[in-house]
C-alpha cells in the first residue's frame, strides 16, 4: 500500500475552507472534492443546531495523517497506522462495540484542539473514510494465522505487533517485513514468545489425553498452525465428568489462538454462530449435549472454508459475505452419534479419569502452565516446521486411498514419519467406528444392517421390506414415515454404511414414476477380531485385524 501525500489538516483547512491564502488554495488530498465551500457559507447543522461540516472535514484530513485505509474482499473497511505495525488492520467501525479507530480519532482530535469531537462529525468523517477505503484493491485481513510464501505467519497479539513465522527452515519471531495483514477482535489475547529446547511431553501434564490419542491431538494442532488454508478437523473431547475436558480445551486452544474468554455454550441460532466464528480462529464449544442439524451444517462448512451470507446491519436488502475456515474444539460427556457427514470431519479424543492424588487447584495449575506455556509453544512450532519441511521434500509420505479429509491425512502421515507413531491408521479406524455408532442409533439403518442381505428397489420398497411384521410393532422415533424421508436418510448415511464395508449405489431413475432405486449390499469379509465389525480394506491389507479403539 503506497502512502498518500502527507497534508497537515490545519493547513489544508485554513487554505481551502477558511478562505485560502494569498498564493491560492492548496491541492486537496485524494478523496476530497475539487471545490470547497465559500467562507461565508454555513455548513449543515446536526439535530442540535451545531455546525459540524467543517469539523468533519478536519477530522477526515487528520485521519489521513494517522492512517492508511483499505478494504477486505468481504467489504469491511480498515485502517493501518502510519506510525505503528504496518501488518495490523483496525476496523473503521465495530457494531459490537469493540475497539475501532473512532475512539483513536476522537482522542487525536482532543489532543490537537482541546475539545471533544461531535458525534455527527465523527460519523460523517468515517463515512468519507469508508469511501476512500473502497477505492483501494481488496486485501484480506487474516485472523491470528495466515499462509504466505510457503510459510505460516501467526500474530502473537501483543502491543509490539510481533509475528511468529514458521517455515520449512524453522521458526523465528519478527516485527518487520511481515507480508500478510492481520486483524484482531475483542477475543484476541496475547501469546508468549515461544522458547526453544522445549518438549511436547510437558503438554500432557496439563491435558489429560491417553497416549494413543496424543499423536492425533498434535497433528490437529499442527494442521491449525502450519496449514491454515487447508480443511481443519473438528476436535471432539469426550469423557466422564471430572476428566478435565474444559481445561483441556482451553490449554489446547491457547497454543494456537489464545483468547480472552474460555469455551462458550453452543450458539442458539446461525446468526449467533457466525458472530462467534467471525471473532475466533479456534472456536470452543463447551458441554455439547445435542447436535442440531443447522449446527452440524455450519460446522461442516466452517472446517472446509465455505462462504456465508447474512443481511447487513440496519438494512433490508444489503448482504455481507463472510468466508472463513476455523478449527473447532467441542467438549461433551457423551458425544453420541454425530451426523454422518460430520463423522469423517471429526477427531474424537477421549479423556481419562483423573485419580484424586493427581488433582490440583486451578491456581496451582495456572502457575505451572504459565511456566511451561512458552516451551510447549516452541516445541509445537518445531514440529510444525518439521512437517512443512517434510511436505516440501521428496521424502513426503504418500497416503494411499486417502479419507475425505485428505489434507489432514497428509499432516497425519508426516507426523507419523517424524514421531514414529500410527496416527493415520488410528484416524481411519476411528472414522469407521463413528460411522458404526451413527448406524446403530438409527432404527431404519440398524434394521438394514441387521438383515445383512442385499436390498434392491425403490426407497418405498426398502421401507416395506425392512418394516417388522409383528402385529404389535410400532414405529420408533427416527423411523422414516415416507419414502422421501427414507431416501434422505440413505443419502445422508451412505458414507457411514460404506465405512462399514457396505456397497451403496443410487441407480439411475427408472420406471414410469422415475423413483430413486437403490442397490445395497452387505460387507463380505474382513471382520474385526474384537467386535466383528468390518475393517476397511486398506487397513486389512496392512495387517490390521482389530480396530484401533477395540
Residue 17 shares a structural domain with residue 107: yes
Residue at grid coordinates 505503528? 84
Mean pLDDT score, 199-205? 93
Task: Give domain status of residue 389, yes or no.
Answer: yes
pLDDT at 549 exceeding the cut of 70: no
Pairing of strands 170-174, 181-183: unpaired
CA distance 124 to 132: 13
Residue 161 shares a structural domain with residue 40: no
Show the domain range for 526. 442-541
Q: Where are the beta strands (DSSP E) in 205-342?
A: 234-238, 282-285, 307-311, 319-323, 327-332
Predicted TM-score (pTM) of the model is 0.78
Residue 139 has phi, psi (to 5 degrees) of: -130, 130
Residue 110 shares a structural domain with residue 155: no
CA distance 239 to 352: 7
Residue 465 shares a structural domain with residue 361: no
Residue 460 Cα distances to 340, 455, 457, 466, angstroms:
22, 12, 8, 10
Residue 394 shares a structural domain with residue 253: yes
pLDDT at 339 exceeding the cut of 80: no
**Strand order across the 327-332 sheet:** 282-285, 327-332, 234-238, 346-350
Nearest Cα residue to 55 out of 120, 129, 128? 120
pLDDT given at position 337: 54
Task: Give domain status of residue 79, yes or no.
Answer: yes
Which DSSP state fits 427? H
Residue 74 shares a structural domain with residue 151: no
Residue 363 shares a structural domain with residue 233: yes
Query: What proportion of the chain, given as a percentage, has pLDDT over 90?
Result: 40
pLDDT at 13 exceeding the cut of 60: no
Task: Give domain status of residue 470, yes or no.
Answer: yes
CA distance 67 to 133: 11
* Domain total of the chain: 4
CA distance 423 to 221: 13
Q: Tell me if residue 163 falls in helix, strand or coil.
A: strand
pLDDT at 314 exceeding the cut of 90: no
Residue 350 shares a structural domain with residue 299: yes
SS (H, E, C) 52-81: CHHHHHHHHHHHHHHEEEEECCCCCEEEEE
Give bridge partners of residue 201 from the DSSP assignment: none
pLDDT given at position 20: 41
pLDDT given at position 415: 96
What cell does 281 get?
Answer: 480462529
Residue at grid coordinates 518439521? 386
pLDDT given at position 493: 85
Amino acid at each position: 500500500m503506497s502512502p498518500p501525500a502527507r497534508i497537515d489538516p490545519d493547513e489544508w483547512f485554513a487554505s481551502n475552507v477558511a478562505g485560502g491564502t494569498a498564493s491560492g488554495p492548496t491541492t486537496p488530498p485524494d478523496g476530497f472534492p475539487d471545490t470547497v465551500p465559500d467562507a461565508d457559507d454555513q455548513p449543515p447543522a446536526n439535530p442540535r443546531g451545531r455546525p459540524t461540516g467543517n469539523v468533519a472535514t478536519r477530522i477526515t484530513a487528520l485521519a489521513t495523517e494517522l492512517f492508511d485505509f483499505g478494504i477486505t474482499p468481504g467489504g469491511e473497511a480498515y485502517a493501518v497506522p502510519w506510525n505503528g505495525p504496518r501488518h495490523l488492520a483496525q476496523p473503521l467501525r465495530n457494531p459490537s462495540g469493540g475497539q475501532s479507530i473512532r475512539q483513536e480519532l476522537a482522542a487525536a482530535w482532543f489532543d490537537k484542539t482541546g475539545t471533544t469531537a461531535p458525534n455527527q462529525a465523527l460519523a460523517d468523517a468515517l463515512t468519507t473514510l469508508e469511501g476512500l477505503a473502497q477505492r483501494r484493491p481488496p486485501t484480506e485481513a487474516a485472523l491470528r494465522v495466515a499462509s504466505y510464501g510457503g510459510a505460516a505467519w501467526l500474530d502473537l497479539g501483543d502491543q509490539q505487533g510481533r509475528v511468529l513465522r514458521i517455515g520449512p527452515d524453522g521458526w523465528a519471531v519478527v516485527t518487520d517485513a511481515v507480508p500478510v495483514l492481520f486483524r484482531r477482535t475483542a477475543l484476541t489475547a496475547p501469546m508468549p514468545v515461544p522458547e526453544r529446547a522445549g518438549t511436547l511431553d510437558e503438554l500432557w501434564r496439563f491435558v489429560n489425553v491417553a497416549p494413543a490419542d496424543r499423536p492425533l491431538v498434535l497433528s490437529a494442532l499442527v494442521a491449525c498452525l502450519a496449514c491454515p488454508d487447508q480443511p481443519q478437523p473438528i476436535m471432539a473431547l469426550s469423557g466422564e465428568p471430572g476428566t478435565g475436558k474444559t481445561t483441556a480445551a482451553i490449554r489446547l486452544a491457547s497454543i494456537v489462538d489464545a483468547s480472552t474468554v474460555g469455551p462458550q455454550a453452543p450458539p442458539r441460532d446461525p446468526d449467533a454462530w457466525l458472530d462467534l466464528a467471525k471473532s475466533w480462529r479456534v472456536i470452543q464449544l463447551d458441554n455439547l449435549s445435542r447436535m442440531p442439524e443447522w449446527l452440524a451444517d455450519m460446522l461442516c462448512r466452517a472446517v472446509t472454508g465455505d462462504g456465508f451470507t447474512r443481511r447487513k446491519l440496519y438494512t433490508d436488502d444489503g448482504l455481507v459475505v463472510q468466508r472463513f475456515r476455523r478449527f473447532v474444539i467441542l467438549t461433551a460427556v457423551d458425544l453420541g452419534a454425530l451426523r454422518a457427514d460430520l463423522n469423517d470431519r471429526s477427531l474424537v479424543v477421549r479423556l481419562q479419569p483423573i485419580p484424586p492424588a493427581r488433582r490440583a487447584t486451578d491456581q496451582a495449575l495456572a502457575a505451572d502452565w504459565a511456566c511451561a506455556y512458552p516451551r510447549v509453544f516452541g516445541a509445537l512450532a518445531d514440529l510444525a516446521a518439521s512437517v512443512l519441511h517434510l511436505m516440501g521434500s521428496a521424502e513426503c509420505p504418500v497416503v494411499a486411498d486417502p479419507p475425505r479429509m485428505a489434507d489432514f491425512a497428509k499432516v497425519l502421515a508426516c507426523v507419523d514419519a517424524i514421531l514414529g507413531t500410527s496416527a493415520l491408521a488410528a484416524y481411519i479406524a476411528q472414522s469407521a467406528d463413528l460411522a458404526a455408532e451413527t448406524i446403530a442409533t438409527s432404527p431404519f439403518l440398524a434394521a438394514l444392517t441387521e438383515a445383512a442381505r442385499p436390498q434392491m428397489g425403490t426407497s418405498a420398497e426398502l421401507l416395506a421390506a425392512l418394516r417388522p411384521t409383528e402385529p404389535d410393532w410400532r414405529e420408533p422415533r427416527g423411523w422414516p414415515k415416507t419414502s422421501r424421508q427414507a431416501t434422505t436418510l440413505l443419502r445422508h448415511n451412505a458414507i457411514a454404511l460404506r465405512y462399514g464395508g457396505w456397497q451403496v449405489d443410487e441407480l439411475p431413475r427408472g420406471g414410469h414414476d422415475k423413483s430413486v432405486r437403490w442397490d445395497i449390499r452387505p460387507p463380505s469379509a474382513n471382520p474385526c477380531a474384537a467386535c466383528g465389525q468390518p475393517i476397511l480394506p486398506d487397513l486389512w491389507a496392512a495387517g490390521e485385524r482389530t480396530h484401533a479403539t477395540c
